[in-house]
Structures are given as C-alpha cells and as structure tokens.
Chain A
C-alpha cells in the first residue's frame, strides 16, 4: 500500500515511453521489502515521500523545494547542492534531500562492475534515485541528508577512486562527445582532452574562485553532438585544414545505389533513388563540389567543412588528415542578457597530446586571468566579451585578428582607436591650434 495516493502521477505510468513514475515505484517497493537487509542510512520510505511531494506539485502546479542551503564536503565549494522540502511535516523522508554531482568518466562509458558499486553506495547512503545524467554530464545522486555527505564522499574517494563534479562559481564538469572511441568523424581525441583538462583543473573545479560558472565542452567534429557551441564558455570543435579524403569507387557505389546514403538514416520513408547532384552537390553551402564523368571533385580551398557531404556518404568521404580543432568562446543560456552562442576565437589549433595540450592550456589560463580580474559577480565570459569587446579578448589571448573570427565587418565606424595607433598621439596644444583657427 503506497504511503501517499498519487492519482495524477499514476496517469504517467501508461504509454510506451519508459515511465519515471513506475521506476520510482519499483524502487520504493524494493526499499520497503529490503530483501538484502540493508541498514538504510536515510529514510527507507523517502521515495514514497518524493512521489507524494511531486503529486502535490501536480495538484497545485508549483514546486515544493526551497533554495539550497550551504552544505557540502570539507574543503570543496562545489559538487553538492543543498535541497530542502517546503512541506517537511507532510514529507519527512525528503525534508533534507541534497544532490551530489559525481564526475562522470569522459564519453560516458562504464563497466557494470563500477556501476553496481555506485548503486550499492547510493542505495545504502542515499535515496537510490539518480539522474543518468545531469545536463552538464555528471552522474547525479538525488537526495540524501547532511550527515551522509561526508560519508558518501569518503567512500567514493577511498573505495571507488571517484571524485565529485562541479557546481557554483566553478569550472563545471567538462563533457565530450563519443569521439574517436566509436565515431569516424572525430578530428581529435575528445575523451583524452576532456579528461586531461578535468584533471589539470581540479582546483578550479572544486573551489569556487570564478565570477560565475565556466564550462568546457568537446565536440569531435562540426556536427556538434554535445552542443558545445550552444552551451560552453569554451567550445572545442574538431575540424581539419587539408583535403577531404575521397574514395571514388565508394562514390560510385552510392551513385549506383549499392550503399545506403546517410548510413541509412532516412530509411523510414521512400525518398526515391539517391541523386548525388540533388542531395550533395546542390546542397553544398559553398558550391565547391562537382560530379562529372563519374568523378566527384571538391575544391577544398572553398570548403567550409560543414560535414553534409561526409554525413551523406560516410563510406566515400572522410575528413582530411591534417586535423585539429577550432576554439569558440562565450556561449550561455538566456539569463541574463539573452542567449549567446560561442564565437570563433581560434580558427584552427593542433590538439597536441605530446606536449599535454600546452597551447590550449595557455589560452584557457589567459582567458581566466582576464575574466577573474574584470568579470562582475555572475557575469559569464560571453557577457564580458560583449561588455569589453572582442578586441579585449584578442589582447588578453595575444591572438592576431583574422577575418575568420567574424561573420562580417562592423556596421558602424565607432572605432575605439588606441592613442599609439594614431600618429602624434592625442596630446595636443590648443594654443598652437588657435594660431591657425580663430575662436
């Protein structure tokens, strides 16, 4: 018998899509039965109360969670989000229900052995409910009490060799696409760069010293499967600067209908036979391709590497061999001054594992020095770029201006000339001027 009636939530148990309500109920049942005789360290019926408080929200259409309080683990300023229910008498099992962010392995690959250990820990010391995964990429442990925070952290660090992720005005947990691990389009090793920078910047990740949050995301190619261009303060997007590799025989096989275009991605509808002219050549945004006499030609100098032709014919076309990444800066969601996407800062850089990404780290640290010096409280990098100008970003990073950085030149002539750029400087003598110009 359920502790709270949940007639509204029960309606979310039907339909084909996996029901989170059914999953919560199965966990509530498992805790009630406790077949393994676990000495639960938080309320055994907390999921019953979680369902109860959610049902209340479904009735009154408002949340019943308060602002977080200051909770955390000793020496860290992030990784734990305090959470308290605003109806603690009705739902005592979730009166204190804090979240832990657990730094996911890059690429979200797991062994079941490791996952089972995480489950055992969280069943024992927490609610048994998780998010796989949070929006930023972390494994999220949903709901435990204050005294359990240090216990969970101690067990994770001592037994699972596992640390917390970021929250607050920190470096947030970096995340990446699947990359070279299982994708033929990847132009650099996203998992290695993601992990390397996560390890390099552990202090910045755990101890808030920034004006606000800061995110890194790593996309292996311009398809941008982790959406780095929309949601990372620094977006690392794989690209190349030489010729797309062409296998002309495979091109023929596509043209002759022997290979399904787009890796079979459009198989749910009859779009007619594959037409290379219509589907590839004519859709190329730069018009840099032609197909004549059974041969595909690409004028690579004009190509902007949008990936369309490669996506359509992955067995015939591959990114070039001189690979690296573009680095774009400043994406953020709408709060406060409107949404921003990242803007091109470094058109091309080699992703150099051998020197442990020294050039990339130098760039990151120069940007952080500027933002930590000049950024206002709760000002994201993109907002600082707007407030102080792209030129300032070039100045602090020591990068030379390049037309690849802009969509088009400025629309107004309000140029902030620097004194040293103007011959003779700005210090002039008004009396000398008046000798030639009467008042």
Chain B
C-alpha cells in the first residue's frame, strides 16, 4: 500500500491549515419534522417497548424506533444504519446519550416496515444487530468505557462485561415491567471515564494489588516527584535502590498497607503497574441516580466488594445483577428507583432480600464522608 497524501504538506504545516472550526452545526442534521417543531412538542407516548411517538402543537407527529448497539462499532455497521435510515427515514438518524440509535419517521405508515426490517437483521454469529427497546420502566443500553480493547489502565474488559450482562437482562430491555427505569453503567477502572457513580447499578473494574516498582526504569520513564504527589494516601516515598548489577538508582517505595489501589500513580508513571490476573476484578455499586424526580440525585453504594474476572462471560457478575434486578422488581413500589427502594426498606433488608453477604469491605473508611455513612440512630431492623 502506497502512502496517499491528503494534501497536507509536512514541511509547511501551517500552509492552508484550518483550525478551531468546531463541530458541524446541529441545524444541518435535524430531520425536517424536528426542525419544524423544535420547542413545540406537546407530549409523547411509548407505543410499545422501543417505539415512541412525539406530538407537536402543530399536529405533526414523529415516530421514533430505539435500538441497542454495542457502542464499539465498525464502519460497515454504521453504513448499514445509514442504509436503513436512507430507506425509511429520509437519510436522518440519531444516537442517544446511552449509545442507542434512534430511527425517526414522520409517518405511521413507515413504522411497521421499519420494525420488521430491523427485527430481521442479525450478525453472522447469531446476535441481533438492532434489538428494539430501551424505553420506559426497563433496562436500557449500558454505557461503558474502553476496557482491554483500547485502554492502558483497565482492571477488566468493558465491552465483554456489558455484552454478557445485557444478554442476561435482555428481557428487560424489551419489556417495561420494572417499578421504574433502571440504569446500568460500566467503568473499567476507578478513573471512571464513564462516570458510573450515580447509577442504579454500576459495574466497576477494580485492582487489589499495590503497584510493582520497575526500579531499573522508573527514573527514566517518570518524573518521580509527580508519581509521589499522585498518591492520595501518601503511600509512596522516594528511595535509593541498588540494582542487581550494583548500580544505585533513584526509585520509590510503596507503603503497601496504605494503598487503596486507585491506580493514580500508574496514570502518572508507567513504571508502577498494578494490573494482575488474580488481583483485578469488579466491584458492584447500586442505588445511585441522577434524576431529581421525587428524591434528590444519589451516589451508588458498594454492595459487592469483589467479583473475579471470569472471562469471557463473567457468570458471577451477571447472575448477581440478575438477582438484584429480580429482588427489586418483586419488592419495590411503582415509581421507586432501586436506591429509593433500598432506603425505604433499609440497607439491612436490601442485603437480605438480594441474598448478598455484608462484609467489612462495605463499611466506608475513607476520610470524612465515611462518618456520614455510619448509623447515628438506634432505629434499625432485625
């Protein structure tokens, strides 16, 4: 393959350079019915799982079909989405903030053929290309991070844990039987580029072994003071180390009992790797939300301190999530989010109803916020 120039001249990088033009303007991409009725929508209705109608004060309607995707997506798959949108939606399509695709049409007549077409499309391996659902009081797509496919700090895979979980709870993607909607989110390390800390159920990749120190290279690869400053518990201090060949080098020492495995040192310094087959796995957090509906937004709470990386399908993880979803579905009142349910019945009852073990790992011991999670009342349930 020969190099094909775009026109860019590396000897004169500023020649014809265009910068700071930002994204394409959203107005270019609105379907006509959206452009016409923006700001004039009166109400919506979910006609069946994954199918919505929005009605405007102009009398116009827009029908939306929501389908799940794997987020990691090939250009072949995007082109197939385009082919469908060209056929049924006049060449317009959109994505939701939770990685679903929405096909919109302004006429009900086009709806059924679109649904039939979407239902018939499968990957060679047998999975659905465009599962319809993700609306109302059910489980929608799981937002997630990169994981082992493209990141340097993960403690687990993101796409795999998400695929395995969504296969397990798939019925609730296509049904609306839960007391309220239930948002599952996945982040593959504590950096949480997925910001899962306010989700009904958060799957979080997690390390459990302190960093190893690559003494021979640390002073060449890293700014040692930055690595030391990166530690939130001050567990890292400078140390001179004698290598096997007798040379003395500047390195660091890790006070292992103070390490909380956040990996921030590794983010700053590649000579302090944490990843480990037995050490790494998952934490499950539940009961968070971002909506202000009825009760204030809430953080998710850690309810399972460790689940191992059982590739390729993480059965302990998916079965634990299923168990929590079923207990919630059976016991919560209509409109109650998972966290609101747990608070109403009490967390002691939550562990009982979800059949989860309560271990010392679940009691907060990190700085001031810990105290506010202990119980300062005699009111509890036996």
**Count, A-B residue pairs, CB within 8 A:** 450
Q: Can you show 24 pairs from A to B with CB atoms below 8 A apart?
A: A23-B73, A58-B148, A61-B156, A105-B26, A105-B28, A110-B29, A116-B82, A133-B95, A135-B143, A135-B193, A143-B150, A163-B21, A181-B30, A181-B34, A199-B22, A224-B292, A228-B290, A230-B297, A268-B176, A269-B176, A283-B335, A336-B262, A338-B369, A339-B192
- Collect the chain B residues with CB atoms within 8 Å of residue A19's CB: 70, 123, 125, 127, 163
Tell me how far the C-beta of A62 lies from the nearest C-beta in chain B, rounded to whole angstroms: 4
Residue of B nearest to A143 (CB): B150
Of all chain B residues, the one with the shortest Cβ separation from A316 is B43
Interface presence of B304 (CB below 8 A)? no
Residue of B nearest to A192 (CB): B26
User: Of A115, A231, A306, which contacts B78 at CB under 8 A?
Assistant: A115
B303 an interface residue at 8 Å Cβ cutoff? no
Query: Does any Cβ of A come within 8 Å of B138's Cβ?
Result: yes
Chain B positions within 8 Å of A359 at CB level: none
Closest to A75 in B: B19
Q: Please report the C-alpha to C-alpha distance between residue A189 and residue B39 in the assembled complex, in whole angstroms.
A: 8
Q: Does B129 contact A (CB under 8 A)?
A: yes
Residues of B within 8 A of A341 (CB): 198, 297, 299
Distance (Å) between the CB of A347 and the closest chain B CB?
13
Which B residue's beta carbon lies closest to that of A271? Answer: B334
What is the bound-complex CA distance between A60 and B278, given in angstroms? Answer: 10
User: Which stretch in B4-12, B210-218, B237-245, B344-352 binds the other chain?
Assistant: B4-12
Residue of B with least CB distance to A30: B76
**Band of interface residues on A:** 35 or more
With A263-B43, A333-B195 already in contact, the answer to whether A57 and B125 are too (CB < 8 A) is no
Query: For residue B143, which residues in chain A have a CB less than 8 angstroms away from its CB?
Result: 135
| Size class of the contact patch on chain B | 35 or more
Q: Contact between B197 and A334 (Cβ–Cβ < 8 Å)? A: yes
Contacts A15-B170, A76-B19, A151-B5; is A110 near B75 (CB within 8 Å)?
no
Residues in A neighbouring B166, C-beta threshold 8 A: 17
Taking CB atoms, residues of chain B closer than 8 Å to A40 are: 1
B311 touches A61 (CB 8 A): yes
Q: Are B127 and A231 in contact (CB under 8 A)?
A: no
B164:A12 contact, CB within 8 angstroms: yes
Q: Which of B5, B13, B123, B176 contacts A13 (CB 8 A)?
A: B123
Contacts A19-B163, A21-B125, A25-B124; A161 near B24 (Cβ below 8 A): yes
B135 sits at the interface (CB 8 A): yes
Output the nearest chain A residue to B7 by Cβ-Cβ distance. A154
Q: Using a CB-CB cutoff of 8 Å, which residues 208-242 of chain B contact chain A?
A: 229-230, 232
Q: Is B381 an interface residue (CB 8 A)?
A: no
> In angstroms, how far is the closest chain B Cβ from the Cβ of A205?
8
**Given the complex of chains A and B, what is the CA–CA distance between A184 and B43 in angstroms?**
6
In the complex, the answer to whether A17 meets B127 with C-beta atoms within 8 Å is yes
Docked complex: B27-76 residues within 8 A CB-CB of A? 28-31, 34, 38-39, 41-49, 52, 54, 62, 64, 68-76
